Structure 1
Amino acid sequence: MKRRTALKLGVAAAAGLAAPRLALASDVVTIGAVAPKTGPLAGGSNVSHWPNIKLWSTQVNEAGGLNVGGTRKMVEVVEYDDQTNPGETIKAVQRLATQDKADFIVAPYGTGLNIAAAPLFDRYGYPQIAVTAITDQIDSLSSKFPGMFFTLGSTTAFASDVVNVLSKMRDEGTLTGNRIAMVNVADAFGIELAAAGRPLFEKAGFDIVYDTSYPLGTQDLSPVVKAAKAANPNAFIAWSYPPDTFGLTEQAVIEDLKVEAYYTAVATSFPAFGGRFAAAAEGILGAGGVNPDSEAFKAYAAAHEAVTGAKPDYWASATTYSSLQVLQQAIEAAGLDRDAVKEHIRSHSFDTILGDMSFKTHNNNEKYWTVGQWQDGVFHGVASTGRDGAKPVRVKHGWS
């Protein structure tokens, strides 16, 4: 499904309909976007991905457009739903490049879809700021696809910080044993994290007493949680995507899974997660985080809600918006030549709402949040590589 959104002064076309062109083609910069609006990853994409494209493009156009070589050009967004299907992602990227003639394309949503699309981004010369991809293949991918950039870090970095958080809890006596139950979604994201986590947990002296995977889109996760509970763990770790993050936590509440540390990955940072589980969310650890007390994040969150009608999440939303700030600053510095934009991204630092961001080592941003925790109704970052404002970790005290 294609949606052409010609944005000017915050006015967007209705879904599924072609909007009237608000300017001549020479006066616009066409931005392509493909990500799930349906399928298993739609819940995450509709929180972290699409609203930030809307916010950024609205703000750019309200400011008069992108400054390209001294000329203001309005942003026009062309959207496709890939239905959480790599084949559809590939077809959409190809269509954006060859038929829609997009000047730039926002990277897809999720690790697997980004990796699937990388050859096409490279073939057509587009920079791919793979904002929601977490992988240990950063070095090899950036070597093979020099225009591919990463914002959220590597699989090993994420798994390492989860291990470090639990190790510190154990040292402090708030985690009273070494028994870990670990589960993962059988997608590139979850498979890589589980593979990275196993040796790291074992090296740190933890005993993985339950270890299983489940297919992406699994509806009934009660057997997973029941089996994890039966293993009598001290901590529960799930390398999960949004539907299963909610589903596993639903079952953990039902089963009264008694652990001192409970971690789920993507979507733990969503406001809807805190809203759904309320007091039960207190103490839950999850992927990412932000410093919600920073003035930059507060201003961004207020703008996000004003434009989209929804609150941003406490992790990938701000990073997605920051990646669009990077793209904007690179375009305004280097123009519409995509090779020049890629080189500018590779060689410069960028001012974003998360602070400075740069990609000078293997096209990888080296400052990012890794672990967050729900504390007093807010998801605070508790571990990062180089970001300020981390909170001390708290023990998980029950489900009410």
Structure 2
Amino acid sequence: MALIATLALWGATAPAALAAGPIKIGFGMALTGALAGNGKAALIAMQMWAEDVNKKGGLLGRKVELVYYDDQTKPATVPGIYTKLLDVDKVDFVVSGYGTNVIAPAMPIIMERKLAFVTLFGMAVNEKFNYPYYFQIMPTGPEPLTDWSKGFFEIAMKQSPKPKTVAIAAADSEFAQNAAAGARQNAKKYGLRIVYDKAYPPPTADFTPIVRAIQATNPDLVYVASYPPDSAGMIRAAHEVGLKPRMFGGGMVGPQYASLQTALGPLLNGIVNYHFFVPEPSLKFPGIDAFLKTYQERAKGAGVDALGYYLPPYAYAYLQILGQAVEATKGLDQKKIGEYIRANTFDTVVGKVKFAPNGEWAQSRVLMVQFQGIESNDLSQFSGPGHRAVLYPEQWKAGSIVYPYEKAKR
């Protein structure tokens, strides 16, 4: 009888005991390898979110726990990491690591298990999968391939004289090639003749031959889709060679980061490039200042982006979205959470977020900014307003373009 009573008592209290356990959110993240700086910065932001939520009592009255592994910036590690998170660690949710190249390899597992999947900066990943519970926090818009470069071309076509030709240079990687594909479509839309269109291998160190080849075609516009080391190499080579298009930039990853900004300094002047947040009055979203203040304190000595304007706010925001969906649905049901995210608008540190049916933002907010008036390599120039004019979209505009590039880079 004592044994039966004990079992009965355990059966009655087990659900409550389980409910008191943490809600586990699992992911892989680039903590080593080429994108480790970005991955570590994202992780700081994600840890900040978990701490903020737990201070307020957690989700559904349960503590949040982050479970993560280093994906080494290698797509091949991703399937194993997510299998372990789900089968061994028994996490309640998974979110993605940073970037297209590590999001895509996770998709077959996510789809097989019918999970809600909030992702961090993937370029048009769901174009291949059409998965209904995929959600992407990068603000590219419902047509990610063309929305990514749309602003660059719209700005160019409003200038006088109007450009007629464009050169497209892109790294031979999934993200950059997707960006280049969108640039080709936009060039065609505006009747621009493509005079140069080539990919370069990611290990490229010397960009001078590439820039000389571009210069030989005398393009009005130069659109570059590149990763941080390539972006720095391309910008330095452009100055060395004396490249003189009317507009230069577009899809370069790197000029958003404090380390590259201080490394390049005045070489950035005149470049028109995408961004997702700059400290201009038009982009003062609720909570962003407090987030950045805490992030910047934690970034000191951590070997990550000192300012955190690019990736960290979005790494915080994509967990805000998941957390709000969990609270709203009052449970951990993947389908209910996926349906809720798809149908609702979320308040985050990067503003209001609503998703289109394909999981991209319902409305694009890819900023096009121009670096202006950079006089030195001092970080303080980049920590406040005034040196990155927001040219596009019109709703968020703060400043005007200096055109052409040759005039702006002085």
Q: Aligning the two structures, in what range does the TM-score lie when normalised by the shorter sequence?
A: 0.7 to 0.9
Instruction: Give a deviation string over 1:314-366, Cα, whole Å, max 9, x none.
Output: 34333332212111111222222222221211121111122211125333312
Partner of 2:149: 159
Mapped pair 1:32 → 2:16: no
- 8 Å CA contact retained: 2:146, 2:185: no
Q: Does 1:226 align with 2:218?
A: no
Q: Structure 1: how far apart are the matches of 2:133 and 2:396? A: 29
Cα deviation, residue 393, structure 1: 2.7
User: 1:333/1:157 Cα in 2 relative to 1: closer, same or farther (>3 Å)?
Assistant: same
Question: 245, 262, 276: which is aligned to 2:231?
Answer: 245
- Tell me by how many angstroms 1:304 deviates: 1.6
Judging changes above 3 Å, is the alpha-carbon distance between structure 1 residues 392 and 315 closer, same or farther for their aligned structure 2 residues? farther
Q: Normalized against structure 1, the TM-score is what? A: 0.82
- Gaps (5+ residues) in structure 2? 1-16, 374-381
Give the conservation status (yes or no) of the 8 Å contact 1:44–1:242. no
| Partner residue of 1:271 out of 254, 258, 274 | 258
**Are 1:185 and 1:214, in contact at CA under 8 Å, matched by a contact in 2?**
yes
Alignment map for 1:122-271 (pairs within 5 Å):
122-135=111-124, 138=126, 141=129, 143=130, 145-151=131-137, 152-153=139-140, 154-169=144-159, 172-173=160-161, 177-263=163-249, 264-271=251-258
SS in 2 for 1:107: strand
- Per the alignment, residue 302 of structure 1 pairs with 293
Note the C-alpha offset of 1:246.
2.0
Q: Are 1:289 and 2:276 counterparts?
A: yes
Q: CA 1:25–1:43 in structure 2 vs 1: closer, same or farther (change >3 Å)? A: same
Q: In angstroms, what is the RMSD of aligned CA positions?
A: 2.6
* Residue 183 (structure 1) shift: 0.4
Aligned to 1:332: 327
**Cα offsets for 1:145-174 (capped at 9, x unmatched):** 2221123321111122221121123xx34x
CA–CA distance in structure 2, aligned partners of residues 83 and 320 of structure 1: 18
Identity, % of aligned positions: 26
Distance 2:395 2:318 in 1: 16
Query: Closer, same or farther in 2 for the Cα pair 1:392/1:398, shift >3 Å?
Result: closer
Mapping 1:323-362, distance limit 5 Å: 323-334=318-329, 335-362=331-358
How far residue 213 of structure 1 moved from its aligned partner, in angstroms, is 0.4
Question: Which residue pairs with 2:402 in the alignment?
Answer: 394
Give the number of aligned pairs.
365
DSSP 3-state at the match of 1:267: coil
Please list the CA deviations of residues 224-248 of structure 1 after superposition, one character each: whole Å capped at 9, or x if unmatched.
2222223222322111122212222
Looking at structure 1, the residues matched to 217 and 49 of structure 2 have their Cα atoms a distance apart, in angstroms, of 47
Match of 2:4 in 1: none
| Counterpart residue number, 2:378 | none
Structure 1: gaps spanning 5 or more residues: 1-22
Is 1:52–2:41 an aligned residue pair? no
1:398 is displaced (CA, Å) by 6.0
Partner of 1:18: none
CA drift of 1:380 comes to 4.7
Q: Does 1:106 align with 2:95?
A: yes
**Greater alpha carbon shift after TM alignment, 290-299 vs 153-162:** 290-299
Partner of 2:59: 67
Q: Indicate how the Cα distance of structure 1 residues 125 and 356 shifts in structure 2: closer, same or farther if over 3 A, else same.
A: same
> Which structure's CA Rg is the greater one?
2
- Structure 1 residue 54, shift from structure 2 partner: 2.6
State the structure with bigger RCO (CA 8 A, min sep 6), 1 or 2.
2
Decide which of 108, 121, 124 is 2:110's aligned counterpart: 121
Residues 218, 132 of structure 1: CA spacing in aligned structure 2 closer, same or farther, 3 A cutoff?
same
Q: CA deviation at 1:67?
A: 2.9
For the residues of structure 2 that align with 1:394 and 1:126, how far apart are their CA atoms?
47
Relative distance call for 1:165 and 1:313 in structure 2 (3 A) is farther
Is the 1:269–1:379 Cα contact (8 Å) retained in structure 2? no
User: Would the aligned equivalents of 2:53 and 2:59 in 1 still touch at CA under 8 Å?
Assistant: no
